[in-house]
């Protein structure tokens, strides 16, 4: 019987956790810096709210169908792609700020793209933990995840305000770096591509694999909305 590795020595989980922590911290850095920047450039509190609301609306609109897609698509590729796209969005925003060419519609567009990426990253992270952590350690693993979320929420906004005081672009440069680092951590973590308990594909009489029956994605998404 193989001994279970302690959670602190589970390299794949710790890489996933560090990537999540770095990514979460980067997102929290701009939680305060972004409204300050929009307000400074436009002088309109209303437009500041529109930018923040656009990201939230995109995140909420896609989160439930994203959870359904996560059960069907390649999770490792999805996580790395979504996190990499967040890094690209942050880098584009940083470049626009540096050049002084940023406009309100660009703020809104990039905020929507960031929200869409975040909607996919969350479900993949949650389900990936079950694929790399033994069932007996899931309680501790999710507790560590919660600690990460709350710590980033406490540290990120004031740190973002401090960095903004050093320069308007500073928190966004740091945000881009954290997203890039998180992408690398996720790649090294080797998140399972499929659920560990996914049923094996049965073979037909002619020896060919038979595609498993699945309910439609629309129906599963509708059930999630109804439950919510």
**pLDDT per residue as tens digits for the range 140-152:** 988 998 898 889 9
Give the per-residue pLDDT at 112. 93
Q: Which residue has better confidence, 194 or 20?
A: 20
Can you give the length of the chain in residues? 228
Give the per-residue pLDDT at 1. 43
**Averaged pLDDT for residues 69-94:** 88
**Averaged pLDDT for residues 208-221:** 60
**What region does 138 belong to: left with phi over 0, alpha with psi -120 to 50, or beta?**
alpha
C-alpha 219 chain-centroid distance: 25
pLDDT surpassing 70 at residue 84:
yes
pLDDT surpassing 60 at residue 183:
yes
pLDDT bracket for residue 185 (50, 70, 90): very high
pLDDT bracket for residue 216 (50, 70, 90): low
Q: Give domain limits for the chain.
A: 17-194
CB 128 within 8 A of CB 192: yes
| Torsion sign (Cα): 29, 31, 34, 35 | negative
E strand spans, 77-123: none
pLDDT bracket for residue 173 (50, 70, 90): very high
**Averaged pLDDT for residues 6-35:** 90
Q: Which CATH superfamily is domain 17-194 in?
A: MFS general substrate transporter like domains (1.20.1250.20)
Residue found under tokens 């406490």: 154
Helix axes of 75-99 and 170-189: crossing angle, nearest 10 degrees = 160
Give the per-residue pLDDT at 172. 94
pLDDT surpassing 50 at residue 200:
no
Per-residue buried b or exposed e for 54-64, using 16+ beta carbons within 10 Å of the residue's own CB:
bbeebbeebbb
* Closest-CA residue to 110 (of 120, 100, 97, 123): 97
pLDDT surpassing 90 at residue 110:
yes
CB 120 within 8 A of CB 66: yes
**Averaged pLDDT for residues 61-90:** 85
Q: Which residue has better confidence, 228 or 150?
A: 150
**Stretch among 67-76, 172-181, 194-203 having the lowest mean pLDDT:** 194-203
Give the per-residue pLDDT at 213. 53
pLDDT bracket for residue 209 (50, 70, 90): very low
For the chain, the average pLDDT equals 84
CB 164 within 8 A of CB 37: yes
Q: Nearest 5°: phi and psi at 43?
A: 70, 15
């Amino acid at each position: 019987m193989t001994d279970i590795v302690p959670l602190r020595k589970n390299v794949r989980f710790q890489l996933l956790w560090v990537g999540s922590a770095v990514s979460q911290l980067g997102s929290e850095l701009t939680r305060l810096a972004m409204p300050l920047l929009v307000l400074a450039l436009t002088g309109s509190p209303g437009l500041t709210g529109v930018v923040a609301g656009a990201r939230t609306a995109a995140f909420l609109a896609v989160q439930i169908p994203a959870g359904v897609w996560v059960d069907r698509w390649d999770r490792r590729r999805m996580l790395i792609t979504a996190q990499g796209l967040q890094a690209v969005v942050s880098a584009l925003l940083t470049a626009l700020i540096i050049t002084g060419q940023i406009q309100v519609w660009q703020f809104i567009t990039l905020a929507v793209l960031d929200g869409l990426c975040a909607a996919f990253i969350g479900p993949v992270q949650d389900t990936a933990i079950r694929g790399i952590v033994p069932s007996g350690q899931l309680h501790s693993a999710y507790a560590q995840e919660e600690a990460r979320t709350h710590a980033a929420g406490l540290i990120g906004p004031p740190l973002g305000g401090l960095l903004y005081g050093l320069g308007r672009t500073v928190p966004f440069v740091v945000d881009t770096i954290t997203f890039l680092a998180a992408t690398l951590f996720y790649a090294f973590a080797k998140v399972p591509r499929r659920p560990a308990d996914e049923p094996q594909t049965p073979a037909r009489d002619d020896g060919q694999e038979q595609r498993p029956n699945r309910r439609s994605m629309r129906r599963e998404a509708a059930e999630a909305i109804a439950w919510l």
